[in-house]
Amino acid sequence: MKRILKNNYYEIVTLIIAFLLFVLVSCYIYKEPEVNIIDATIRDAMYSFRGPKYGFWFIVFRTLTELGFVYFIVLLAALIGFGTRFDRRFWYLCGATIITYLANELIKVIYLRPRPIEELRWMSEASTSFPSGHSMVSLVFYGVIIYFIYSSDYLKPKTKKLVISLIILAIVLIGLSRIVLGVHYFTDVIGGYLCGLVFLMIFVMIYKKIMKKAPVIRDTNVKLAD
């Protein structure tokens, strides 16, 4: 037990904090399933910012939200699969994403929070609102990719920081796009991020455990020193 805590200290602390915050947000949502003061304030600010429908910001945020859609994630996963020769990282990424997607659908059934008023939406969505599936799934999918990049030796440190920063920015913009497009409340997005962070920490800890048991694969093209 002490070894588990030592090897996964930061993951466990992050998981506990994210879980407690998610419980706090979900209780707030459960108490006030309709529009609350936080969601109403941020919603009004976003709606005043976005301008007319089908204008410039519609194109921008409609494009950004595509980064969290299933078909884009599947396409990106396929490209990653080709790049990694469909090794264990690819299959682990797929498994983590699918489990997160199914978990999100289950949690939505528990809360059954209605989405924002249909007249104010800039796109159609059929499922319920809390937690945001785009936020939750994208955080896990892109978060696992961030972990792979961070723990790899293929990129230089500066390149790693740049790529990871761009991916984090994409995750944030995906969540923001859901609010601007009128299909989610602010607390839906925050709840999705927090729940996704819980799942991400679990997947990272499991992967670290698997990799420790996996045999070391050496690059046969690299000449080892005598």
- Structural domains in the chain? 2-211 (1.20.144)
Residue 1: its pLDDT value, please? 64
Dihedral Cα 116, 120, 123, 124, nearest 10 deg: 50
What pLDDT sits at residue 102? 96
Local confidence pLDDT in tens for the 226 residues of the chain: 666 667 778 899 999 999 999 999 998 887 776 778 889 899 888 888 887 787 888 899 999 999 998 889 999 999 988 887 888 889 999 999 999 999 999 999 998 888 888 778 878 888 888 999 999 999 999 999 999 999 888 788 889 999 999 999 999 999 999 999 989 999 999 999 999 999 999 999 999 888 666 544 444 343 433 3
How far apart are the C-alpha atoms of 104 and 130, rounded to whole Å? 9
d(CA 84, CA 135): 25
Nearest-CA neighbor of 185 among 116, 134, 109?
A: 116
Q: What is the rounded distance in angstroms from the CA atom of residue 171 to the CA atom of residue 156? A: 23
CA distance 26 to 195: 10
Task: Provide the pLDDT for residue 212.
Answer: 60
pLDDT of residue 130: 93
- Predicted confidence at residue 219, as pLDDT, reads 40
pTM more than 0.85: yes
Which residue in the block uniquely carries the two structure tokens 């839906």? 188
Which long-range CB contacts under 8 A does 37-44 form with residues at least 24 apart? 38/186, 38/187, 39/185, 39/186, 39/187, 42/179, 42/185, 42/186, 43/116, 43/179, 43/182, 43/185, 43/186
H helices within the chain, ranges in order? 2-7, 9-31, 37-50, 56-65, 70-83, 88-111, 133-150, 157-180, 186-213
